[in-house]
Structure 1
Amino acid sequence: MSEKVKVLFVCMGNICRSPTAHAVFRKLVRDEALDGLIEIDSAGTHAYHVGNPPDSRSMEVARGRGIEMQDLRARKVDFGDFIEYDYILAMDEANYSLLKEQALPEHFSKITMFLEFAEQFAQTEVPDPYYGGPQGFDLVFDMVTDASEGLLRHIKQEKLNLK
């Protein structure tokens, strides 16, 4: 397989949920030495924080769990992303709808709710922790870890033909 499987995580501002998912998934991929086969990025549906690092509370929770993400920078989804990425994973219904509005119909199948890959959480949306307390960032980390593990299993089986 010469082409990498390309994964894009999307939330609203690309400073809390999607960079956390980006960093967690990146670590899982690296831990299994699959970084040569899977490319990862994150973006926001809004340009509020373009160029900024992740929210300090997100970075603090991630660092406490052994994951670094200070190298990530917020960017806005652009039309090329719909062509480039195999998986475009929305954190909530609002961002899912915005992605569908921006995409051409032939790219709709790439856009999925991220928590569809979760096994331990029945929720469909990763809640935005931005305006809440610190416990929200812990919950987001747990949810994206669960969904990231499920996503990696899915990609290994469906795209990479690995067990």
Structure 2
Amino acid sequence: MINVLFVCLGNICRSPMAEAVFKKKVQEAGLSSKITVDSAGTGHWHIGNPPHEGTISILTKNNIEAAGLQARQLKKKDLSEFEYIIAMDAENLGNIRALAGHSNTGEISRLLDYDPASPGEDVPDPYFTGNFEEVYEMVDCSCTNLLTHIREREGI
């Protein structure tokens, strides 16, 4: 199995959105038996909570399943269990790398690294901006490109 983990700050907006979007793309590609998808947050504030209502709303609007999504905190063991660890912004990326230290981990990158047309490097946090539609568009495009990257790299 190829394991993909999306990481944001609280795991209630961006990373669960990316998890749900990517999971749907994996299912549509017929790769659910080869790729698992999860999400986590670098912070502990929302552990056990469902996604933000804005995330649920945008996923529902786009016919993407949100059931079962629940916030959890990134753990050191995640760094050895996931081949692809995808951060939403520079702060998340720094926190992931700090947790990893010198240990071997999978590929650590930012989601917008997979969208060369993106005007920025970070997915803005809709918890603060309220712009769930803009974030969804970034996540959707980047997840399409990420799946292509994984398929090419892994030969699936």
Please confirm whether the aligned pair reaches a TM-score higher than 0.5, indicating the same fold: yes
Counterpart residue number, 2:152: 157
Superimposed CA distance per residue, residues 97-150 of structure 1 (whole angstroms, 9 cap, x where no aligned partner): 1111111324366211111111442321000010223xx100110001011000
Write out the 4+ residue segments of structure 1 that deviate beyond 6 Å after TM superposition. Answer: none
In structure 2, the residue corresponding to 1:77 is in which secondary structure? coil
- Specify the SS of the correspondent of 2:7: strand
Q: Aligned partners of 1:50, 1:124: CA distance in 2, in Å? A: 27
Please report the TM-score for the alignment, with normalisation by the length of structure 1.
0.91
Report the count of equivalent residues: 156
Using the aligned pairs only, state the percent identity. 38
Cα displacement string for residues 43-90 of structure 1 (whole angstroms, at most 9, x for unaligned residues): 000011000110011110110011121310000000100110001110
**Number of the residue aligned with 1:143:** 138
CA RMSD of aligned residues (A): 1.2
Contact 1:100–1:108 (8 Å) recurs in 2: no
TM-score scaled by structure 2?
A: 0.95
Distance in 2, Cα, partners of 1:131 & 1:99: 21
Q: Which runs of 5+ in 2 are unaligned?
A: none
Equivalences for residues 41-56 of structure 1 within 5 A: 41-56=38-53
Work out which of the residue numbers 24, 28, 44 in structure 1 matches 2:25.
28
Which residue does the alignment assign to 1:124? 121
Unaligned runs of 5+ in 1: none
Opposite residue 125 of structure 1, the aligned amino acid is D
* 1:157 Cα deviation after fit: 0.8
Given the alignment, which residue of 6, 22, 32 partners 1:9? 6
Residues 1:109 and 1:39: Cα distance change in structure 2 (over 3 Å): closer
